[in-house]
């Protein structure tokens, strides 16, 4: 993928998750976290989309992704629909990466370039 891609640094990604969960370990409606599986549970369409499921398996193998959700699926579908719009694809890719959870720290910019 060419064009400029802005991705959230790891520390900001973790802060957003922690702010969303808070000290009481409950999801906050005021502090959105697109990677929250409780707030964005997987719907049937995502579970039946073979292209998306292949992408998920690749992400798990390549980046040790441990969780994805309905937002991941939404951005995946939007990326497929906007194949020719490079600026839009970069924004969607950045958002897609922030909808997943990982087992270890990620270098999102490098991940984005690989995808």
SS3 string of the chain?
A: CCCCCCCCCHHHHHHHHHHHHCCCCCCCCCCCCCCCCCCCCCCHHHHCCHHHHHHHHHHHHHHCEEECCHHHHHHHHHHHHCCCCHHHHHHHHHHHHCCCEECCCCCHHHHHHHC
Reported as a pLDDT band with limits 50, 70 and 90, residue 5 is low
What integer pLDDT is reported at residue 2 of this predicted model? 46
At 29, the pLDDT band (50, 70, 90 cuts) reads confident
**Mean pLDDT for the stretch of residues 14-33:** 89
Left if phi > 0, otherwise alpha if psi is -120 to 50, otherwise beta: which for 5? Answer: beta
Provide the pLDDT for residue 59.
92
pTM passes above 0.95: no
Mean of pLDDT values over 34-58:
95
Averaged pLDDT for residues 10-24 = 90
Residues 48-107 pLDDT 10s: 999 999 999 999 999 899 999 999 999 999 988 877 677 777 788 888 999 999 988 888
Residues in contact with 76: Cβ distance below 8 Å, sequence separation at least 6, in sequence order = 52, 55, 96
């Amino acid at each position: 993928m060419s064009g400029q891609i802005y991705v959230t640094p790891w520390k900001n990604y973790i802060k957003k998750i922690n702010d969303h969960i808070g000290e009481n370990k409950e999801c906050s409606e005021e502090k959105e976290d697109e990677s929250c599986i409780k707030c964005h549970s997987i719907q049937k369409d995502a579970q039946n989309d073979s292209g998306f499921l292949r992408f998920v398996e690749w992400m798990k193998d390549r980046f040790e992704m441990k969780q994805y959700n309905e937002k991941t699926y939404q951005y995946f579908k939007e990326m497929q629909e906007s194949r020719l719009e490079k600026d839009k694809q970069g924004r969607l890719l950045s958002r897609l990466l922030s909808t997943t959870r990982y087992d270890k720290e990620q270098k999102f910019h490098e991940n984005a370039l690989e995808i």
